[in-house]
Amino acid sequence: MPLIRRQFLQAAAGATMSLPFAGAARAQAYPSRSVRVIVPVGAGGANDTSTRLIAQKLSESLKQQFYVENIVGAGGNIGMAQAMKAAPDGYTMLSVAPSFVINPTLNPKTPFDPMRDFAPVTLMCATPTVIVVHDSLGVGSIKALIALLKANPGKFSYSSAGTGTPANLAGELFKAAYGVDIIHVPFTGGGPAMNSTIGGHTPISFPALSTAAPSIVGGKVRGLAVMSPKRSLTLPDVPTMAESGLGDQQADVFVGVVLPAGAPRSVVDLLHREIVQALALADVKKRLAQLGFDPIGNSPDDFGAWIKAEVTKWAKVMREANIRLP
């Protein structure tokens, strides 16, 4: 074989063999600059705090700044819409909470579709809804509460942070599942709603466990059951609905991460891996527990399936309860 031809074939073979390594180098180049993490609610809440916790760990592990930007308004729709419109290059992340799966049905003006317009990364953490009551009801179990409500239709009320909020939808899910008649009283936030239950004015509530835990531990309200497949690490003495013999009713308040649709799968997988590793750190688990959250870190595909199931579940609840914003 002539020398020139042999040298060409050797060079071509070397180039071919190097292609996977070139591709790996390109994938490893992300992130090469700062990454914006949109939180579509105000600073200071559990969603914001848990997201900042993970963003800091990503900054440390990936050697680029992951900075949180709070973009509030329209029940989270403004921030989520901005994330949807961002370039799908991995440099804009979106922290999502229940409004992500509720708003498309609740508000006809919602500008995004959670399944079409975003690429799921992972469900970072969640806290279950807990059914709490004021001691004046005199019930010590969820079965006793249901019996009391069935014997007194329309007599008792439950509080929530507002129409269409997770607590409202959990209450309507409970009503439909067990055929009870309780009156919904919306407030302007979780704090006023919980204070009303603590005062016995609306003696039942369906808050996130992260919101209710201090009041339960302090004896201000009684936690009857968590609407979750398993007990929470934060309040391990509160049984699940299934353990109470009432089937598996699930209502979670969660924090997850998505990217704009079309983001490279390599970036999705990288962020998923790094977030899961961060969730396994002792200091992260401790801080999430203080917030009332359990770490999850499921796969992108599992999170996508979960989002679809949640949209379907809550759409059904809202249709049956006629919950919809004008």
Annotate 201-219 with b (16+ C-beta within 10 A) or e (fewer): ebbbbbbbbbbbbebbeee
Q: Give the pLDDT band (50/70/90) at residue 234.
A: confident
In a domain, 150, yes or no: yes
Do residues 52 and 200 share a domain? Answer: no
Which residue has better confidence, 18 or 222? 222
Residues 151 and 188 in one domain: yes
pLDDT on residue 11 = 41
SS3 208: strand
Whether 90 and 166 map to the same domain: the answer is no
For residues 134 and 193, membership in a common domain is answered with yes
Whether 139 and 113 map to the same domain: the answer is: no
Q: Using the 3D structure, point to which of 227, 245, 275 is the last residue of a domain.
A: 227
pLDDT of 247 reads 80
N- to C-terminal Cα separation, the chain? 80
Output the domain CATH number for residue 76.
3.40.190.150
What pLDDT score was predicted for residue 9? 38
pLDDT of residue 28: 58
Confidence of residue 319 (pLDDT cuts 50, 70, 90): very high
56 and 100 in a single domain? The answer is: yes
Is 265 exposed, middle or buried, given 0-12, 13-18 or 19+ CB atoms closer than 10 A?
Answer: exposed
- Is the pLDDT reported for residue 12 higher than 60? no
Is the pLDDT at 8 greater than 90? The verdict is no
Average pLDDT of the residues in 255-267: 98
**DSSP state string for 103-130:** HHHH-TT----TTTSEEEEEEEEEEEEE
Q: What is the DSSP letter of 139?
A: -
Peptide bond into 239 cis (omega under 30): no
Tell me what pLDDT residue 326 has.
Answer: 65
CA-to-CA distance for 72 and 53, rounded, in angstroms? 19
The CATH number for 170's domain is 3.40.190.10
Query: Model confidence over 135-152: pLDDT tens digits?
Result: 999 999 999 999 999 999
Q: Please report the pLDDT score of residue 171 as a whole number.
A: 97
Q: Is the pLDDT at 1 greater than 80, yes or no?
A: no
Q: Which domain holds residue 113?
A: 33-126+253-321
pLDDT > 80? residue 218? yes
Stronger pLDDT, 280 or 230, i.e. the higher one:
280
Secondary structure letter of residue 323 according to DSSP: -
The residue with tokens 């579709």 is: 113
Which of the pair, 326 or 70, is modelled with greater confidence? 70
Q: What is the mean pLDDT of the chain?
A: 90
For residue 21, pLDDT beyond 80? no
H or E stretch covering 148: helix 142-151
Is the residue at 24 inside a domain? Answer: no
